[in-house]
Amino acid sequence: MPERCAPSLPLRADLVGEQPYGAPQLDVPHLLNVNENPYPPPAEVVADIAAAVTEAAGTLNRYPDREFRDLRADLAAYLTAESAATGLTTDHLWAANGSNEVMLHLLLAFGGPGRTVMSFAPTYSMYPEYARDSLTTWKAGTRRADFSVDVAEAIEQIRTERPSVVLLASPNNPTGTALDSADVRALAEATADSGPDGGATVLVIDEAYAEFRREGRPSAVTLLGEFAHLAVARTMSKAFALAGARLGYLAAAPELVDWLRVVRLPYHLSAVTQAVARAALRHTGVLQAQVAELRVRRDETVTWLRERGLEVADSDANFILFGRYPDRHEVWQGLLDRGVLIRETGPQGYLRVSIGTREDMAAFRGALEEVTGR
């Protein structure tokens, strides 16, 4: 942080030297660095959202619906249809300003001083920050060389650490790798008594990119009826093309959701946010029309990268991790100089590219060939 002339402030010791989170936001022709959906909402969706916001604007002198039960009911209906889940009701759903806030609610409720949250690296770079902000100890387990999770080894590490929360992204960010149902079930069974006092560990499956997964990988939502300590996080940022709306949500047993209600800030979801999300959910089919197309383009890009001798992680998301480069920053800068912004993240030597439009990906391929000669 820049130094300013100010009195000494009582900053928490664990924040000294920390920097705010943030990927570069640059004005370039091809933005492929933060896993956004490259297609804006269609005009008919924009019109419906605008009408809903106009209606909400007439009530902005009042606080919003604190429990947002109508939105939760709509989200329950969407998940039921999308994942063939059974028994999901309004009480099983929670929502907040992005899945980031959902995750923070989870750690405020189930983490804290003297407790541990665990994940398996490499994984989403915000997980340690949720731990830090909630004063929860962070522990990172390990993955296989191909970035998949060795479930038997993971269970052993969990039983050693006895965490109160385990965060597992599926598909994982930044690698794109996903868990299958058998793996999630095994982890759910093992975490039923792996908590710090012999009780359950809250197992969170972060499915921010779930709509992009390949066939044969059902959502962990289908297991919620069997495991009261399982929570499944989702977002409308990716498949719904609503990154700017900031709406993330979670499905879990009602008793788990009730504890999130305790730690949330008052009226944390604005009336405008609720109106936008509900309007978007009325257009699920239209908003997700390009998801299948993006999956095809992802798989084509994986093949193209591998044909050039690069190491590429299997991806069930709308992005690809690839490498390895002796100097990945040089490659990143070379692409940026040619108008293509991707992400310098993950293990050393690797880069991550989001899947964009056909034009975006053609520009990416051309720029990469120019920079690397292959």
- The pTM for the full model equals 0.95
What pLDDT sits at residue 88? 96
Beta-bridge mates of residue 93: 251
- Residue 153: helix, strand or coil by DSSP? helix
Same domain membership, residue 259 and residue 330: no
Same domain membership, residue 81 and residue 19: no
> What percent of the chain clears pLDDT 90, i.e. is strictly above it?
95
Classify residue 65: in a domain, yes or no.
yes
Whether residue 253 contacts residue 228, with contact meaning beta carbons closer than 8 Å, is answered with yes
Q: Rounded distance, CA 166 to CA 282, Å?
A: 33
Banded pLDDT at 3 (limits 50, 70, 90)? low
Whether residue 128 contacts residue 277, with contact meaning beta carbons closer than 8 Å, is answered with no
Q: Rounded distance, CA 239 to CA 269, Å?
A: 21
Bond preceding residue 298 cis, omega within 30 of 0: no
What pLDDT sits at residue 6? 58
H/E element, 202: strand 202-206
Beta-bridge mates of residue 231: 204, 252
Banded pLDDT at 1 (limits 50, 70, 90)? low
Q: Give 236's contacts (C-beta < 8 A, 6+ positions apart).
A: 242, 245, 247, 248, 249, 277, 280
What pLDDT sits at residue 265? 97
Same domain membership, residue 204 and residue 64: yes
Query: Using one digit for the tens of pLDDT, what is the confidence trace for 201-213?
Result: 999 999 999 999 9
What pLDDT sits at residue 22? 80
CATH of the domain at 21: 3.90.1150.10
What pLDDT sits at residue 85? 87
- Separate counts of helices (H) and strands (E) for the chain: 12, 12
Over the chain, what is the mean pLDDT?
Answer: 96
Query: Using one digit for the tens of pLDDT, what is the confidence trace for 87-120?
Result: 999 999 999 999 999 999 999 999 999 999 999 9
Structural domain total, the chain: 2
Same domain membership, residue 309 and residue 227: no
Degrees, nearest 5: CA angle 347-348-351: 75
What pLDDT sits at residue 285? 94
What pLDDT sits at residue 350? 98
Q: Rounded distance, CA 337 to CA 132, Å?
A: 35
Classify residue 202: in a domain, yes or no.
yes
What pLDDT sits at residue 314? 95
Domain of 208?
Answer: 46-286
Query: Using one digit for the tens of pLDDT, what is the confidence trace for 278-334?
Result: 999 999 999 999 999 999 999 999 999 999 999 999 999 999 999 999 999 999 999
28 pLDDT higher than 90: yes
φ, ψ at 119 (rounded to 5°): -145, -170
Q: Which of 235, 252, 286 is the last residue of a domain?
A: 286
Burial of 369 (0-12, 13-18, 19+ CB in 10 A): exposed
> What percent of the chain clears pLDDT 70, i.e. is strictly above it?
98
